[in-house]
């Protein structure tokens, strides 16, 4: 699991392209939608 809690632009790609075998939780608002189509990434708290 990868939790994005830092708004540094270097981490934006993780919100949009989840590494294989990982789940992403976006706490800072990088994602354009709350949940990706494959369900492997979720954006919350924004």
Residue 11 gets the label, from left (phi > 0), alpha (psi -120 to 50) or beta, of: alpha
Residue 13 DSSP code = H
> Does residue 32 or residue 2 have the better pLDDT?
2
For the segment 14-41, what is each residue's pLDDT rounded down to a tens digit?
887 888 999 888 888 887 777 777 777 7
Q: What is the pLDDT of residue 27?
A: 86
Q: What is the pLDDT of residue 31?
A: 78
Q: What is the pLDDT of residue 5?
A: 92
């Amino acid at each position: 699991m990868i939790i994005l809690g830092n708004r540094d632009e270097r981490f934006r790609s993780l919100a949009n392209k989840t590494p294989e075998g990982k789940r992403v939780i976006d706490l800072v608002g990088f994602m354009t939608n709350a949940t990706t189509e494959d369900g492997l990434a979720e954006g919350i708290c924004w």
